[in-house]
């Protein structure tokens, strides 16, 4: 009985060790961000992961910011700049510490049914800033009409175009007559921006 008990304990230790070897990489989202069907903003969003969501990280594409995750029941792709992990007792951004954390490399092959519809931002393109709290607004229809009749050139930025995201300083805004917010077009999506905080307050679908 003692021998049998020792064998069972040894088996339990081996199973536990195997479990540790396959431990999941757990990250946290630092922004509200879209989880996309492929590694690029041109791929459709499968859902929205809210700030502070726990994400299981499969790995990231080599030479790219895009990583594959499981988050809130969704499986898809997000930016490594918007994920943080514990490293040495500190929360660090995944993109900035991929080598130290040991993030696995994954690949992605597009299919004929998922063809990029628009150019995606290059790896060096500027990112939209972190998300902050903003007041929810419902713009009047006259604002949409003004935007449609006064188009502006689109600005290409990395990251997700979401309410609360901060727009980089070098992006210019267009004034809307008799309206406190400004507008610009980011990745072909018209957005309204608070000129004081430079945060997006509304995204037109």
In order along its 205 residues, the chain shows pLDDT tens digits of 444 443 333 333 333 333 333 467 899 998 788 888 888 877 888 888 888 899 999 999 888 888 999 999 999 998 888 899 988 888 888 888 888 888 888 888 754 344 444 444 444 445 666 566 678 788 999 999 999 999 889 988 877 788 888 898 889 999 999 999 999 999 888 999 999 999 999 988 7
CA distances from 171 to 150, 160, 194 (A): 17, 16, 13
Q: What is the pLDDT of residue 163?
A: 82
Q: What is the pLDDT of residue 134?
A: 73
The residue with tokens 């299981």 is: 56
Q: What is the pLDDT of residue 115?
A: 40
Opening angle at CA 190, ends 185 and 193, nearest 5: 85
Phi and psi of 73, rounded to 5°? 80, 5
Q: What is the pLDDT of residue 129?
A: 60
Give me the torsion for CA of 25, 108, 30, 192, rounded to 10°. -170
Those residues whose C-beta lies under 8 Å from the C-beta of residue 18, and which sit 6 or more positions away, are none
- CA-based nearest residue to 53, from 71, 38, 34, 35: 71
Residue 148 CA to residue 13 CA, distance in Å, equals 66
Q: What helix, strand, coil percent values describe the chain, rounded to 5?
A: 20, 35, 45
- CA-based nearest residue to 138, from 171, 181, 167, 197: 181
Rounded to two decimals, the pTM is 0.53
Residue 142 CA, distance from chain mean position: 32
Residue 28 CA to residue 53 CA, distance in Å, equals 6
């Amino acid at each position: 009985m003692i021998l049998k008990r020792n064998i069972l304990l040894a088996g339990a230790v081996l199973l536990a060790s195997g479990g540790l070897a396959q431990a999941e990489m757990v990250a946290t989202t630092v922004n509200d961000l879209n989880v996309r069907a492929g590694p690029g903003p041109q791929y459709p969003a499968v859902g929205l992961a809210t700030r502070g969501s726990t994400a299981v990280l499969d790995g990231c594409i080599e030479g790219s910011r895009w990583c594959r995750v499981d988050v809130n029941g969704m499986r898809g792709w997000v930016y490594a700049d918007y994920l943080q992990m514990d490293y040495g007792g500190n929360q660090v951004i995944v993109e900035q510490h991929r080598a130290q954390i040991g993030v696995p490399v994954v690949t992605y092959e597009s299919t004929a049914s998922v063809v990029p519809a628009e150019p995606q931002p290059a790896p060096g393109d500027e990112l939209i800033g972190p998300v902050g709290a903003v007041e929810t607004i419902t713009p009047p229809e006259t604002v949409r009409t003004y935007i449609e009749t006064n188009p502006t050139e689109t600005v290409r930025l990395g990251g997700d175009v979401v309410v609360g995201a901060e727009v980089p300083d070098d992006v210019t805004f267009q004034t809307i007559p008799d309206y406190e917010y400004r507008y610009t077009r980011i990745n072909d999506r018209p957005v309204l921006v608070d000129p004081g905080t430079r945060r997006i307050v509304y995204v037109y679908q």
